[in-house]
A and B are shown apart, each in its own frame.
Chain A
Amino acid sequence: DAKTTQPPSMDCAEGRAANLPCNHSTISGNEYVYWYRQIHSQGPQYIIHGLKNNETNEMASLIITEDRKSSTLILPHATLRDTAVYYCIVRVSATTDSWGKLQFGAGTQVVVTP
């Protein structure tokens, strides 16, 4: 699986949009981009995923560049409960034997302040 690069930390003001970048310059055509987050002392939580189109759900939006070498997770209106470590993960498609495995890096510690 392709490696990802994220900033170690970032701050965001409550109520503002949080834009979390992720670089995955070695991504392959059959690899998806996933985002999970981990609130302190809890298990990780799935946020969103995408292949090449932008995606949106009730939690966040995912913007993937046209060359797929980077992406941005957008939390539209950050709240204090969004303070967590956010993981960007690149994962092969469901057609391979290694499907199911998630490779977590160090992630980005996001702190939302009042």
Chain B
Amino acid sequence: NAGVTQTPKFQVLKTGQSMTLQCAQDMNHEYMSWYRQDPGMGLRLIHYSVGAGITDQGEVPNGYNVSRSTTEDFPLRLLSAAPSQTSVYFCASSYSRTAYEQYFGPGTRLTVT
């Protein structure tokens, strides 16, 4: 299994541009989520999904959209990038809402200028 994969690994955007961060898992996990990590801080939850077609907001959802059309994929969309969205983004998954262990991807480092 490849586990949780994220693309791209690095991205530079100009203010106002939009883009999609990709996340995929091949473990047939129901639960997927997106976090952002800013320098010197812990991870903050952006959005999460408990299954295909079901998404919900985390603690910092503004400026981001998600959708879950398949079990495997959970893309994160930046609608109009802002410098405040410069961060490292991590995707995570677990086999169900009640699973104890979450598996994290390697991250996408995003810079907005």
Which residues in A have some Cβ–Cβ distance to B below 8 Å? 32, 34, 41-46, 49, 87, 94, 99-107
Please report the C-alpha to C-alpha distance between residue A80 and residue B103 in the assembled complex, in whole angstroms.
23
Q: How far is the CA of A35 from the CA of B81 in the complex (A)?
A: 33
- Chain B residues within CB distance 8 Å of chain A: 4, 31, 33, 35, 40-45, 48, 50, 58-59, 90, 92, 94, 97-98, 100-107
Contacts of B44 in A (CB 8 A): 104
Whether the Cβ atoms of A102 and B45 lie closer than 8 Å is yes
Which residues of the partner chain B approach A34 to less than 8 Å between Cβ atoms?
A: 100
Which DSSP category, helix, strand, loop or mixed, fits chain A's interface? loop
- Can you name the residue of chain A whose Cβ is closest to the Cβ of B58? A101
A100–B100 CB distance below 8 A: no
Top 4 nearest A-B pairs (CB, nearest first) are A43-B104, A104-B42, A94-B98, A104-B43
Least CB distance from B107 to A in Å reads: 6
CA distance A96 to B97 in the complex (A): 10
Cα–Cα distance between A45 and B92 once the two chains are bound (Å): 10
User: 11 A-B pairs, CB-CB below 8 angstroms?
Assistant: A32-B100, A43-B92, A43-B105, A43-B107, A44-B43, A44-B104, A87-B42, A101-B45, A102-B92, A103-B59, A104-B42
